[in-house]
Amino acid sequence: MRGKFPCATHLIIGCEAKSDAERLMEVLPKRFSKFDLTLHPTKTTMIPFARPPRRNRKDERNGNFGFLGFTFYWGRTLKGGWSIKKMTARKRQNRFMKMLWLWCKANRHDPIQSQYETLCSKLRGFYQYYGVRSNYKALETVFEYAEKAWRRWLSRRSHKGKVLYDEMRKKYSFPKPRIVHAF
């Protein structure tokens, strides 16, 4: 098994002090090489990501970064404190919604039950990956877009007119967005 996977992936290490991070960046490649692993030179970076100051001043340390389809950022909790939050990366969300639109267009003549089951499966998969705390708005946006896309392309199946979606919604209701992961 050793040497089968040439590089380590999907790792975030947070350091409070910049000196700790610099020391870690010196030691980490040596430590990884003991296990026949390497760090990708262009993907391994130090990103300043500190809690924003108490006052509303600009701070270069306060930014956001993308990782595994999420954008990490600092946000306020309900009690007013600072917390690291995640939301779906804009590119990933737009790509998923475009895929839904094109799928509905390409499969509009399939049986409605078959379309419904496939769309529900796609939505559940999106919710299961991106269903993290502080990301409900993105899930809700995708849910509403899926309804819009399906209604649009079902209405284009024939020349007879629009689909009465209120009646369809009773029979074919998509799974509601929900938070699956609490971290």
Q: Is position 78 within any domain?
A: no
Q: How does residue 58 score in pLDDT terms, banded at 50, 70 and 90?
A: low
Q: How many domains does the chain have?
A: 2
Q: Is position 156 within any domain?
A: yes
Mean of pLDDT values over 105-127: 94
Indicate whether 23 pLDDT > 80: yes
Mean of pLDDT values over 106-115: 92
Alpha-carbon distances of 179 from 3, 43, 88, 111, 120, rounded to whole Å: 37, 30, 13, 31, 16
Mean of pLDDT values over 129-147: 94
> Mean of the per-residue pLDDT values for the chain?
84
Give the amino acid at 66: G
For 82, list phi and psi in degrees, rounded to 5.
Answer: -95, 145
Helix ranges (H only) for 37-180 are: 90-106, 112-130, 136-155, 165-171
Provide CB contacts within 8 A for 118, sequence distance 6+.
103, 107
Percent of the chain predicted with pLDDT > 70: 87
Domain of residue 13, residue span: 1-46
Q: Is position 51 within any domain?
A: no
- Quote the pTM value: 0.78
Q: Is position 76 within any domain?
A: no
Quick one: 102 and 160 in the same domain?
yes
Q: Rounded distance, CA 43 to CA 40, Å?
A: 5
